Amino acid sequence: MTAELRREGNPSSLHAAGRRARRVVEESREQVAETFGARPGEVVFTGGGTEADNLAVKGLFWSRRAADPVRRRIVASPVEHHAVLDPLLWLAEHEGAELEWLPVDRLGRVDPGDVAGALGNDPDSVAFVTVMAANNEIGTIEPIGAVAAEAARWNVPLHVDAIAAAGQLPVDFAGSGAATMALTGHKIGGPPGVGALIVARGVQLTPVLHGGGQERDMRSGTLDTPGIAGFAAAAAVAEVELGERSKRMAGLRDALVSAVLEAVPDARLNGDPDPSGRLPGNAHFSFPGCEGDSLLLLLDARGIECSTGSACSAGVSQPSHVLVATGADDDSARASLRFSFGYTSTMGDVRAVADAIGPVVERARGARLASARRA
Amino acid sequence: MSPNRPLRVLAALSGGVDSSVAAARAVDAGHDVTAVHLALAENPQSFRSGARGCCTLEDARDARRVADVLGVPFYVWDLAERFRQDVVDDFVAEYAAGRTPNPCVRCNERIKFAALLDRARALGFDAVCTGHYARLVDGVHGRELHRSVDPGKDQSYVLGVLDAGQLAGALFPLGGSVKTAVREEATRRGLAVAEKPDSHDICFISDGDTAGFLRDRIGDQPGEVIDVSGEPVGRHDGAFAFTVGQRKGLKLDRAPSDGLPRYVLALSPIDRTVTVGRREDLAVTDVRGEHVRWCGPEPAGPFRCAAQVRAHGEEIPAVAERTGEPAAAGSAEPGPSAALAIRFDRPVLGVAPGQAIVLYDGSRVIGSATIAWAGANRVPA
């Protein structure tokens, strides 16, 4: 990737520099396809995961509705990332889409039987189904294979947001049965600002970006050759090291979960308590009586970086729609923290959290009481 | 608490130039600074229905930019619900009751140096730092609140509700500076907010239309405008649109018989009348205050002071004395509602109930009260 930053050449051009850049892009496309079980011709490079999800959600809806105006229903999991959720809400508000939310259990998991039920009731009116491979907030792995089988039974396309799963779980596009699958570079150790939508052969998408007709007319715009090279390099490494990395992250994650639950006995692990049912790099807790904001500040002051989930444009933290979908009330949704492990995390990091979390939770509880005192 | 010792400081960053320079000075002074932007507005945001957004996106971003330049942690704290309850609802209720509140006073008392300071202290911070133009001096009365050296920007009036405990947790690094120097310093420090205009309006009424804001919440309350002589001189849509001392916008149907200009003398929401009169009818010599707050030890007996009855108003020599009983039976401390009687040395025009009356000893703030009643040479029944 750094080598590519020094070179020039538009991969769409016919001159020598363009041909050289095109070769880099096409070899990268082959690598990304190989890592994620797709054909090279199915890989559409995008400017990141959000764009890939937008292209899938809007592109599938528009093209399916254009082919048959009856298809306005979208069957969706309510725990999707905002990159899927917000385009869905936009389609409902501006394009007449009818959203049908699948129920999830308290672990945030979709039941394929509910997909069957939603599709069996008037399958002709369904534009597509969308269920993520694994949840980015609470780490729950979704039963994509079974969901895809239901979608296939009714001949309805399935979009899978695999952004959180990639780099932590094996992702096999061909084996998944998905029509489209979103991926992003920075979640697998690549650069930010580059991603891909894998689009199965024969699946039509109406483009979101119109212009020069790059990427099979589905995504116009000059390709970011260095970014794509970096994405492919990360994919190559992830493919080789996935098994070992996942095992190591799962070991750290299990140690962290035990340590936190021991230090704070009334803390609750959100998502699947069965380690095989959640992302190896994810641990997500609710700490009753705390504000997530206070926990974040106190941990940050001790050099521990974690996350409270999503925030509005101004930075005010919001109760997580994922936790709310699993049945949590606003208060416990706000009292939550996510710890993510990367390739560089160590047991020392786990010990630092284990040492800090007890006093931090105690202090955060005091702060919540203090700020309510004069109310 | 000495300001010279390094403290754990929570710097409130509004996104404006003053709080930015204040935070920068706190960093330079060696304090361990964490920045926080208060989200005070409750507005639904597009798409994410029901989610809480803010009307001040630009301010939040500016605040974050400043924190990044200063290299300090930055958080956004959502105090919108507390702000609505303690400041906005109170503002509307006060107007509905015929008074003229000062929401900045209320915000300092209940939000910045209560909700925010309490939470900061519980999280291990020693003080909240703001860009207010006022000085904190460790003097014979303990931690004393004094006027800013910049008379044009002095904000001690809106801080006169802070008690000793609150002042002990405050840091005002701008009190010894004039505004022009603060702007120059912001430019020198490379802060992108250096040229941002000053905010003068009420922060939660973004279009500046206070009467419209109140009408939306209180509704039209039409009534009569009565001259002090007793003759009806016009109609109005709501007494909340008027302030004692106001001359413009009265829209009288008929000129008073003496042909002299008229000023608002009193608002009576019960019978919905607005009383107007001549300029000299505005003259007040006596004020009764409630919700008394002392910025340090309470003075004994009647005491001489200089009173200020509105933001950036003049000082009036006066004598003040406690008259009220303790608010809570059995409490040794006088309650915050206990009354204060103030007699001015000379008549003062346009004293509006609901405004703060802040009492000074030289540059030092002694304390304050909310004006409950104002009259001439007599005390209320």
Residues B175-205 have pLDDT tens digits of 999 999 999 999 999 998 888 887 767 888 8
Cβ–Cβ contact B14 with A under 8 A: no
**Cβ A294–B124 below 8 Å, yes or no?**
no
Cβ within 8 Å of A, B 128-187 = none
What angle (nearest 5°) sits at the alpha carbon of residue A326, between those of residues A356 and A284?
A: 20
Provide, as residue numbers in chain B, all residues whose Cβ is less than 8 Å from the Cβ of A300.
73
Same domain, A361 and A284: yes
Nearest-by-CA chain B residue for A296: B75
Would an 8 Å CB–CB cutoff place B84 in contact with chain A? Answer: no
A305 touches chain B (CB under 8 A): no
- Do residues B349 and B230 both lie within one domain? no
Q: Which residue of B has its CA nearest to A364?
A: B123
Residue B261 near residue B247, CB atoms below 8 Å: yes
Using CB atoms within 10 Å of the CB of residue B303, give its burial: 0 to 12 exposed, 13 to 18 middle, 19+ buried. Answer: middle
Same structural domain, B20 and B132: yes
Contact present, A192 and A186 (Cβ < 8 Å): yes
Number of domains in chain B: 3
Confirm whether B208 is domain-assigned. no
The answer to whether the Cβ–Cβ distance between B53 and A314 falls below 8 Å is: yes
To the nearest whole Å, the CA of A370 is away from the closest chain B CA by 6
Low-confidence residues of chain A, pLDDT below 70? 310-314, 373-375
Helices (H), chain A: 2-5, 16-35, 49-67, 82-94, 112-120, 144-153, 173-176, 225-263, 292-301, 321-325, 330-334, 347-373
The β-bridge relationship of strands B316-322 and B223-227 is: unpaired
CATH number at residue B296: 2.40.30.10
CB contact under 8 A, A366 and B47: no
Q: Please answer yes or no on whether B82 and A375 come within 8 Å at the CB atom.
A: yes
| Terminal CA-CA length for chain B | 45
pLDDT tier for residue B17 given thresholds of 50, 70 and 90: very high
Structure-model confidence comparison of residues A330 and B24, the more confident one: B24
For B244-301, how does the pLDDT look when each residue is reduced to its tens digit (9 = 90+)? 999 988 888 888 778 889 999 999 888 899 999 999 999 999 999 999 999 999 998 8
Dist. CA A316–CA B38, nearest whole Å:
9
Is beta strand B142-147 parallel, antiparallel or unpaired with respect to B134-139? antiparallel
Question: Which is it for the CA torsion B147, B150, B151, B153, positive or negative?
Answer: negative
pLDDT at residue B50 is higher than 80: no
A276 vs B: CB within 8 A: no
Tell me if chain A has a CB within 8 Å of the CB of B124.
yes
- Cβ <8 Å between A314 and B110: no
Does residue B370 sit within a domain?
yes
In a domain, B44, yes or no: yes
Q: State mean pLDDT over B347-363.
A: 95
Chain A residues touching residue B37 (CB < 8 angstroms): 314-315
Assign B374 to helix, strand or coil.
Answer: strand
Asked if residue B183 is part of any domain, the answer here is yes
| Residues of B whose CB is below 8 A from A311 | 76
Instruction: Give the CATH number, domain containing residue A157.
Output: 3.40.640.10
What integer pLDDT is reported at residue B327 of this predicted model? 46
- Amino acid present at A276: S
Is residue B78, in this structure, part of any structural domain at all? yes
| Number of domains into which chain A is organized | 2
Q: What's the rounded Cα separation, in Å, for the pair A245 and A200?
A: 29
- A202 Cβ contact list (under 8 Å, min separation 6): none
Phi/psi region, residue B277 (left: phi>0; alpha: psi -120 to 50; beta: rest), is: beta
Inter-chain residue contact B124 with A298, CB threshold 8 Å: yes
Domain ends where: A218, A237, A256?
A: A237
Instruction: Give pLDDT, residue B333.
Output: 53
The conformational region for residue A149 under phi > 0 = left, psi -120 to 50 = alpha, else beta, is alpha
- Among B58, B166, B56, B182, CA closest to B107: B166
**Residue B207: what pLDDT?**
79
Please give the Cα distance from A176 to A169 (Å, whole number): 13
Residue B58 has what pLDDT? 81
Tokens found for residue A144: 């994509």
Which residue in the list B54, B104, B107, B129 is annotated as catalytic?
B107
Instruction: State the residue for tokens 């809806």.
Output: A61
Of the given ranges (B52-61, B266-275, B329-338), which has the lowest mean pLDDT? B329-338
Interhelix angle for A225-263 vs A16-35, to 10°?
30
Residue with tokens 């709310």: A324
The answer to whether residue B207 is domain-embedded is no
Distance CA B188, CA B197 (A): 17
Helix (H) or strand (E) run with residue B212 in it: helix B210-218
**B chain contacts of residue A313, beta-carbon cutoff 8 Å:** 45, 53-54, 57, 60
B129 and B260 share one domain: no
Q: Single out the residue of B32, B79, B91, B34 nearest to residue B52, CA to CA.
A: B79
Q: Which amino acid is at B195?
A: E
CB contact under 8 A, A315 and B39: yes
Looking at the DSSP assignment, which residues form a beta bridge with residue B127?
B9
For residue B286, count other CB atoms closer than 10 A to its CB.
19
Q: Which residue among A179, A209, A237 closes a domain?
A: A237
- Tell me which residue of A110, A189, A92 sits closest to A150, measured CA to CA: A110
Q: Are residues B48 and B151 in the same domain?
A: yes
Q: Flag whether residue A362 sits within 8 Å of chain B, measured between CB atoms.
A: no
DSSP code string of A36-64:
TT--GGGEEEESSHHHHHHHHHHHHHHHH
Give the one of B47, B75, B114 whose C-beta lies nearest to A90's C-beta.
B47
Q: Does A302 touch chain B (CB under 8 A)?
A: no
> CA-to-CA distance for A134 and A115, rounded, in angstroms?
17
Question: Quick check: A197 and A181 in contact, CB under 8 A?
Answer: yes
Percent of chain A with pLDDT over 70: 98
Report if residue B198 sits inside a domain: no
* Domain match, B136 and B97 both: yes
B61 and B38 in contact (C-beta within 8 Å)? no
Asked whether the beta carbons of residue A312 and residue B52 sit closer than 8 angstroms, the reply is: yes
Angle formed at CA A361 by CA A360 and CA A363, multiple of 5 degrees: 65
Nearest-Cα distance to chain A for B78, in Å, is 6
Residue pLDDT, tens place only, A274-312: 999 999 999 999 999 998 889 999 999 999 988 887 666
Q: Chain A: residue nearest B48 by CA?
A: A86
A316 CB within 8 Å of a chain B CB: yes
The question of whether B203 is a catalytic residue gets the answer yes
Q: What is the DSSP letter of B198?
A: P
- Chain B residue numbers with beta carbons less than 8 Å from the beta carbon of A292 are none
Residue of A nearest to B72 (CA): A301
Query: d(Cα A306, Cα A296) in Å, to the nearest integer?
Result: 7
Catalytic annotation on B295?
Answer: no
How big is chain B, counted in residues? 381
CA distance B25 to chain A (A): 21
Q: Are A59 and A207 in contact (CB under 8 A)?
A: yes
- ipTM for the predicted complex comes to 0.83
Check CB contact under 8 Å for B47 and A86.
yes
Query: What is the rounded average pLDDT of the residues B152-164?
Result: 96
Nearest CA in chain B to A359: B123
Which residues are within 8 A (CB) of A48 and not within 5 positions of it... i.e. 6 or more apart? A184, A185, A186, A192, A193, A194, A195
CB contacts < 8 A (A, B): 86
Same domain, B75 and B110: yes
Examine the fold and report which residue of B165, B188, B211 is the final residue of a domain before the chain moves on. Answer: B188
- Name the minimum distance, in Å, from the CA of B131 to any CA of chain A: 21
Is the Cβ of B73 closer than 8 Å to some Cβ of chain A?
Answer: yes
Provide the domain limits for residue A272.
242-373
Q: Is position B355 within any domain?
A: yes
Would you call B115 and A86 a contact, using CB atoms and an 8 Å cutoff? no
- Interface test with chain B among A84, A90, A290, A297, by most B beta carbons within 10 Å: A297
**Cα atoms found within 13 Å of the Cα of residue B157, Cβ hemisphere only:** 22
Q: B296 with B273, same domain?
A: no
Which candidate, B38, B128, B129, places its Cα nearest to that of B81?
B38
Residue B33: closest C-alpha in chain A = A301
CA separation for the pair A27, A25 (Å, rounded): 6
**Rg, C-alpha atoms of chain B:** 22
The range of the structural domain enclosing residue B345 comes to 283-375
Distances (CA, A) of A233 to A185, A230, B75, B154: 10, 5, 35, 60
Q: What is the CATH number of the domain that holds B258?
A: 2.30.30.280
Query: Which residues does residue B179 pair with via DSSP β-bridges, in sequence order?
Result: none
Q: What's the pLDDT at A74?
A: 98
Give the domain-ending residue among A215, A237, A259.
Answer: A237
Check CB contact under 8 Å for A363 and B122. Answer: yes
Report the distance separating Cα A53 and Cα A35, nearest Å. 19
Instruction: Classify the phi-psi angles of B230: left when phi > 0, otherwise alpha if psi is within -120 to 50, otherwise beta.
Output: left
Query: A14: which residues sit within 8 A by CB, 6+ positions away?
Result: none
Measured distance CA(B208)–CA(B220) in Å, rounded: 19
Shared domain check, B264 and B289: no
B32 and B64 co-located in one domain: yes
Choose among B238, B132, B141, B216: nearest CA to B175.
B132
Smallest Cβ–Cβ distance between A370 and the set B39, B48, B118 belongs to B118
Q: Is A303 touching B (CB cutoff 8 A)?
A: no
Place of tokens 């369904």: A126
Cα dihedral sign, B221-B223-B229-B233 = positive
Residue of B54, B104, B129, B203 with catalytic role: B203
The residue annotated as part of the active site, out of A3, A14, A16, A312, is A312
